[in-house]
Structure 1
Amino acid sequence: MRKLNIPAEKKPFYFFSVLLFITVLYSGYLLNQIGLHMYVNRINGTSIQYEEFRKMKLPPSRIKKVKKDIDKVEDLTITMLINDYELSEKKNIKTSNLKKLLPQVKHNEAYQELKKYYYAILNDIKYFPLPLKENGDSYVTFDDSWYADRNYGGARKHEGTDLMPEYSITGLYPIISITDGVVEKIGWLEKGGYRIGIRAPSGAYFYYAHLESYAEGIKKGDKIKAGQLLGFMGDSGYGPEGTTGMFAVHLHLGIYIDTPNGELSVNPYYILLYLQSQ
């Protein structure tokens, strides 16, 4: 092995530099370990904050990672628990640290429950609920209207996303299924008009409301394929069966999951952003 030929007058500086380098590395290691310990304590010492979880603040890029590898739902769950259910580029956690955290939190009840919900919502989504134009643009626009005020039937909050078409014409725009699944509910609801509900294989319930009509022959119990025609956009609802024209033509999309406390709605907005971008 070749020996370093260090001039005598530079040896103190050289060894000081090496010592400083080692000290910095070790300090970084200790700080990282302290950070991991704090993350573990935070996860193991918390319960699910359902109202924050329901907002589903998931950038499409993060949903895409999970869709490419469903095992990434574990990383997503840990990251959301640590970051108060909201992700941004500044809040990412290193993959190496996520691998260290998983064995220490994977048996935590809140982690297990939350992971099940993210899996149920994300695993089966495949198609935007309306066909896209040839250039990839959409025939509809939509905003994050989660929990906006609504007043029909009394003061309440909007628990879904409204997709508004270019032209307010009933029966013009086909509605397609986002997922595979089974028709669990179909028919009239006072607030939802002609609606159809699809239970996806992983457990989430996808609710399509205010339809003008249904696809021919579709009925409760039918198996549905992602991309299959469900019906056509309309303006039905807000009254007894057959009521139309109480609002502009649009599709109301809702997503629901079953929890120990009953059925829970979640914000579809970020799911739709992801599906529109595919």
Structure 2
Amino acid sequence: MIRRGFVLLLIAALLGALVFIFRDVFRSGEVRELRLPAGLARHYAAAERETGISWAYLAAIDEVESGYRKATPASIRERAAWMMEKTGGNSAPKATERAIRSGFPDDRAEEILEIAESYRWMVPSLAEEYAFPFRKTDLSRISYSDTWGASRTYGGNRKHEGTDLMAEKGIPILSVSDGIVVSKGWNRLGGWAVTVMDRNHPQRFYYYAHMSRFGEGIEAGHRVKKGEVIGYVGDSGYGPEGTTGKFPPHLHFGIYVRENLLSWRREAINPYPLLKVWEAGQ
């Protein structure tokens, strides 16, 4: 009887260890439209760095309360300070969620937390250090705006799933994060393109398209470092392999997120607010 109990205890311990080891594999989150205003993104990032409160909770409150219409840099700082006071200085998610539940009516609190949970999955932190996809010395030769959702007709009517960063042909393109190259090659729409999975947040993928050529050593399976050259600006795409010249040179940059780590199906989110944060951090 004692021996049987010992075996059961050992099995339970092993199962517990396996759950702990593989817990990240079973994480998941909803991917929704990222409505974060680009002009406020760096202020949410600053509040997160200063207090430890996730930007996602602060933004979700403003999204539900006013659709960001009343959000300002000052109000974001004040909201973060209020949150720290409510939590007694504890910036952990559980403490933040309790503060929101106690500070808002039930239905509104649930809506805020639902949005925040999705945003924390899609963009775990705005305070983490990511690289802008171009060197600081090249910024004067780069221009971009929010082209998310713009109409595109090549290959059928569709909406633009990324940000176009206009640049001179041949300018180096940098990996925004540490990661693993999951695909490299020709895409009928994107031309010569590379997709990188974020090493720290493997639910997130970065798509770099319309290159003129790839960086040295860039192959599927290659581990890239943040700031590593993965390719060079070009005008490839919109046709069979090797097609160029259909549009001005630029980098098409996209971010795709999967809802769980066991799936390869990915949904696009607007990269423009994140690019503005990363550019400001250079």
Query: Aligned partners of 1:95 and 1:215: how far apart in 2?
Result: 42
State the Cα RMSD in Å. 3.0
Is the partner of 1:138 in helix, strand or coil? helix
Residue 62 (structure 1) aligned with residue 61 (structure 2): no
Deviation at 1:271, TM superposition (A): 1.4
Is the partner of 1:238 in helix, strand or coil? coil
Matches within 5 A, 1:174-193: 174-193=172-191
Structure 1, unaligned stretches of length 5 or more? Answer: 1-47
CA contact (8 A) 2:179 2:225 kept: yes
Of residues 55-64 and 173-182 in structure 1, the stretch that sits farther from structure 2 once superposed is: 55-64
Residue 133 (structure 1) aligned with residue 137 (structure 2): yes
Matches within 5 A, 1:225-240: 225-240=225-240
One-letter code aligned to 1:265:
A
How many residue pairs are counted as aligned between the two chains?
223
One-letter code aligned to 1:202:
H
Q: TM-score, normalised by structure 1?
A: 0.70
One-letter code aligned to 1:132:
K
The one-character-per-residue Cα deviations of 1:182-226 (angstroms, maximum 9, x if unpaired) are 111111110011110111121311110001101122111111110
Query: Aligned partners of 1:212 and 1:49: how far apart in 2?
Result: 32
Is the partner of 2:240 in helix, strand or coil? coil
Residue identity over aligned pairs, in percent, reads 30
Distance 1:256 1:67, change over 3 A: farther
Matches within 5 A, 1:116-155: 116-119=121-124, 122=126, 125-133=129-137, 137-155=139-157
Query: Aligned partners of 1:271 and 1:77: how far apart in 2?
Result: 14
Query: Aligned partners of 2:162 and 2:66: how far apart in 1?
Result: 21
Q: TM-score, normalised by structure 2?
A: 0.69
Partner of 2:120: 115
Query: Aligned partners of 1:208 and 1:225: how far apart in 2?
Result: 15
CA contact (8 A) 1:142 1:163 kept: yes
The one-character-per-residue Cα deviations of 1:8-29 (angstroms, maximum 9, x if unpaired) are xxxxxxxxxxxxxxxxxxxxxx
CA contact (8 A) 2:46 2:127 kept: no
Residue 50 (structure 1) aligned with residue 32 (structure 2): yes
Structure 2, unaligned stretches of length 5 or more? Answer: 1-29, 87-95, 102-108
Question: Considering only CA atoms, is the larger Rg found in Structure 1 or Structure 2?
Answer: 1
Is the partner of 2:47 in helix, strand or coil? helix
